[in-house]
Chain A
Amino acid sequence: MIPKLMQSITLPVARAQASRRQFLLGALAAGTGIAVGYRVLSASPALAGEAETESGSHAFSPYLTIGGDGKVTVLSSQFEMGQGSYNGIATLVAEELDADWSTIDVIGAAGNIKAYGNIAFGGAMQGTGGSTSMSTSWERYRKAGAAARAMLIAAAAAEWGVDATEIAVENGVLSHPSGKSGGFGVFAAKAATMPVPAEVKLKEPGDWKLIGNAELKRFDSARKANGTEQYTIDVKLPGMLTAVMIHPPLFGAKAKSFDASAARAIKGVVDVVETPRGIAVVGEHMWAAIKGREAVTVEWDETGAEKRGTPELMSTYRDLSGKTPAAFARKDGDADAAFTSAAKVIEATFEFPYLAHAALEPLNAVARRNDDGTIEIWGGHQLPDVYQNLASEIAGVPVEKVRLNVMKTGGSFGRRAVFDGDVVVEAVHVAKALGFRAPVKVQWTREDDTRAGRYRPAYVHRLKAGIDEAGKLVAWSDHIVGQSIMAKTAWDGMVQNGVDPTSVEGANNLPYAIENQTVGLTTTDVSVPVLWWRSVGSTHTAFAAEAFLDEVAEAAGRDPLEFRLSMLEPASRHATVLKLAAEKAEWQKPLPEGRFRGVAVAESFGSVVAQVAEVSVDGDGIKVERVVAAVDCGLAINPDQVRAQVEGGIGFGLSAILGEEITLTDGKVDQGNFDMYTPLRIDAMPKVEVHIVASANPPSGIGEPGVPPIGPAVANAAFKALGKRIRVMPFAKSLNA
């Protein structure tokens, strides 16, 4: 959800290492476990990742611990929101460690950029996004597993008085031909005192048992099926209070005054406090806070607030799309001349609304000041360094006095990776306003979550294509109009020459051989807060390009699949997934009466996905019956989780185009709950088949790349079914037009 090109980012932050080290040691000392990873990595900078080389200090880089009971706990730099990163990272560690998979657990870690900095972001910050969790972890966590394995062997060798090379490790047990054997737990303590290998040799792919194993099950499914998985909403601390926020009704409005006297009289309401982000109603429990909130009256200062509604904004965007772009993200050949000389020119405008992430766990965070003065925060810390620094500023404590507990979250889809900390900041503000007298959980309701902003930006695309006499696509232009996600944030430096890469990704890297093409961008200035939303720019760019390409194919009188393949290198990844999806969907075979199909392909986050969608007519609209996907994501560490992410990505993308839209009336968000903002339900979910291209390339993204192709594939099928082009989202707007 965060772009790959983050090397240029320097956050204005100090770095905290010491406190985290002490915290983790404390946590480990409290149990029976031995921090193998601590010793391994503190003494072995080479294992700490690329960021290590810049510092002479020993990194504290705990990637795993092994308990006296043999339990292996992986400390994950990557945050888990359902996408399976914990499972993937555990697979890497367990593979090289030869651990018993049933003893693996994973917890989130933060506070040590040297160890946990995301290599795909340049290593200078920890974060989960851009579908980079596997690529950043691929070397790092395998090495951590291999180093710990070597130390366990050294410990056993010393204990048994045998040569280390004679010791075998399998399934969490060390053994020697003499018949001696023992589990990891037996040697964990001694292993922690062993010298750290300067270098480790990783397994050859042929020796892998877990990596690439399609039968391997997620380590965390059972606890999610019996209700014991713990999320931020489940955090309960002694004396903890629960707060709900009253956010401004318009983006940019501020509280002028408020009257909480009636609220304070409600049983269970503890306090009502003001924060820079709104009024907080604090209760003994959630229900008291909710009831208290209903009784508070607030007078708002709406000077400078955003008061435009969706009709005004989209009208402006449409106008702008017909003008010269403010900036260009791609210019190949001479598009103007090619349009002039083309035999046929077609044009179309596509419109995309704001979208909410609508993760099922509404945003929340818990903050507490401990007796030692540290501030401790529980939450879905998708950008931990950012939150640690924001909390430090608010609480007025050094950054190393802020401890983060990274919780698993009920979805995120990008929503918990925010520049300003959002709910994390609110929790610290509220705790502070209460004089830190009690731990406090700030819990948003569904309406808060829907209305408080941070949407996938609304966009208009104007596309134009020129075809020559032979039906060849000779000129292409795409003018994108909409807000920038990164401008005016800590990521502002990523905006180069007026182009926010997240606005144009998926549009300025089309794989097709089109000699003359331009991708233009006009960034709008609107105060509606926006953010990356699962697959970011490709949520709209891939739709516009791939749906319009079908219009071009039709104008050229060509089959959509053949047309695409004619502009791709036959051995390219795009052509490979297109051909695989087409073959599995039997593209050449006529469909039964009443069934129609469409195809699309898109590259995002280093992976390429093609999808063939089959639809039927259902009343005035369509029903998506079946989707066949083919994916090249490099090496598939957990093939079944790759399938799961593509299945879910298809559902998520379909959800958006069929039924999701945030609209504003005079600046106010119209939707609140799931009666108005309507994600996909099971009755609209197609049957899905996912085919994975065998690849030895390093793993690339998979959490997001399943999303982009589904919209255009369905739109292209819908045209066959209904004879109408789908150009305005959500779908119904096109059908009723």
Chain B
Amino acid sequence: MVTVKINGVEHKIEAEADMPLLWAIRDLVGLTGTKFGCGMAQCGACTVYIDGSPTRSCQTLIGDIEGAEVTTVEGLKGKVAETVQAVWADLDVPQCGYCQSGQIMSATDLLANNPKPTDADIDAAMSGNLCRCATYHRIRAGIHEAAKRLEA
């Protein structure tokens, strides 16, 4: 039994300690916004925040995070996140959308720490998030646009 807070709600998770957080979130807690793409921290689709830091939930074992605060895309709040999400819709960034929860988590974290990222900053911060539809052009534009709106 592991106790974690997910999106502000305490969950007592009955699972073997080696279960990746990803599957606990999806299959036990029932939140499906966090996606499975690779299972080895290669694609970023499963990105969540653990105690505020972006983390690949597929490589985080539930037994290692007793007492942690987990934020998934469903629990993402605040001005930066909401701006990013609004821009994503305004610029029609997503295509299939499957990777976008992870992209949003990473983009929000980037802007929270770097309000005016350059293209190079964006490439560095976002290169762990694969988008097979290759919406990268609009992801870059979206981050710049969100930075602009947040500055205003």
Contact = CB atoms under 8 A, between A and B. Distances in A.
B9 interface: no
Contact of B98 (A218, A410, A445, A679): A410
Interface in A399-433: 408-411, 413
Interface in B91-149: 92-101, 104, 122-124, 126-127, 129-140
A673 B33 contact: no
Contact of B130 (A223, A225, A362, A681): A681
Interface in A258-284: 267-268
Contacts of B137: 647, 651, 685, 687-688
Interface in B23-61: 23, 26-28, 30, 32-40, 42-43, 45
Given A84-B95, A222-B89, A641-B92, A682 B136 contact: yes
A680 B84 CA distance: 23
Contact of A673 (B18, B26, B40, B140): B40
Interface string A655-679: 1000000000000000001110001
B72 A227 contact: yes
B97 A229 contact: yes
Contacts of A673: 38-40, 42
Interface stretch (A153-161, A230-238, A586-594): A230-238
Contacts of B133: 82, 411, 648, 651-652
Contact of A650 (B20, B23, B124, B134): B134
A361 interface: yes
A410 B23 contact: no
A190 interface: no
A361 B37 contact: yes
A218 B130 contact: no
B27 A227 contact: no
A469 B80 CA distance: 65
A222 B85 contact: yes
Contacts of B45: 360
B64 interface: no
A410 B89 contact: no
Contacts of A445: 39
Nearest to B84: A225
Given A225-B88, A286-B27, A682 B140 contact: yes
A361 B96 CA distance: 10
Contacts of B37: 360-362, 410, 446
Nearest to A412: B96
A242 B39 contact: no
A679 B130 CA distance: 8
B26 A683 contact: no
Contacts of B27: 242, 285-287
A674 B89 contact: no
Contacts of B96: 81-82, 359-361, 408-411
Contacts of B73: 226-227
Determine which residue in B23, B88, B95 has the highest number of CB atoms from chain A within 10 A of its CB, and name it.
Answer: B95
A692 to B, nearest CB: 16
Contacts of A685: 134, 136-137, 140
Contacts, number: 188
Contacts of A604: none
A640 interface: yes
A674 B74 contact: no
A180 interface: no
Contacts of A81: 96
Contacts of A230: 32
A673 B40 CA distance: 8
A83 B95 contact: yes
Interface residues of B, number: 59
B33 to A, nearest CB: 2
A224 interface: yes
Contact of A410 (B20, B35, B126): B35
B10 interface: no
A222 B131 CA distance: 17
A644 interface: yes
Interface string B67-95: 00000111010000000110011101111
A303 interface: no
Given A225-B104, A408-B96, A679 B40 contact: no
A675 B123 contact: no
A675 B135 contact: no
A71 B28 CA distance: 33
Contact of A225 (B16, B18, B74, B94): B94
Given A224-B97, A233-B36, A360 B126 contact: no
Nearest to A647: B137
B65 to A, nearest CB: 15
A220 interface: yes
Given A360-B132, A648-B133, A221 B89 contact: yes
A697 interface: no
Nearest to B101: A227
Contact of B92 (A217, A229, A649): A217
B23 A285 contact: yes
B2 interface: no
Contacts of A22: none
B150 to A, nearest CB: 16
B18 to A, nearest CB: 8
Contacts of A83: 95
Contacts of B93: 221, 225
Contact of B134 (A221, A362, A655, A674): A655
Determine which residue in A84, A218, A361 has the highest number of CB atoms from chain B within 10 A of its CB, and name it.
Answer: A361
Contacts of A234: 32
Contacts of B135: 644, 647-648, 651
Contacts of A82: 94-98, 133
A602 interface: no
A642 B120 CA distance: 27
A362 B39 CA distance: 11
B56 to A, nearest CB: 12
A226 B45 CA distance: 13
Nearest to B62: A287
A615 interface: no
Nearest to B124: A683
Given A287-B27, A682-B123, A226 B134 contact: no
Contact of B36 (A225, A362, A655): A362
Nearest to B43: A674
A674 B38 contact: yes
A228 interface: yes
A118 B104 CA distance: 36
B66 to A, nearest CB: 18
Contacts of B19: 287
Given A222-B85, A226-B85, A680 B134 contact: yes
A360 B84 CA distance: 22
B35 A647 contact: no
Nearest to A221: B89
Given A236-B30, A641-B92, A287 B23 contact: yes
Contact of B33 (A217, A220, A228, A651): A228
Contacts of A640: 92
A360 B130 contact: yes
A443 to B, nearest CB: 8
A497 B23 CA distance: 51
Nearest to B99: A360
14 contacts: A217-B90, A225-B104, A287-B27, A410-B98, A411-B133, A413-B132, A647-B138, A652-B134, A655-B134, A674-B42, A680-B136, A681-B136, A683-B123, A685-B137
Given A287-B19, A445-B39, 8 more contacts: A82-B95, A223-B97, A224-B97, A227-B33, A361-B37, A647-B137, A647-B138, A681-B136
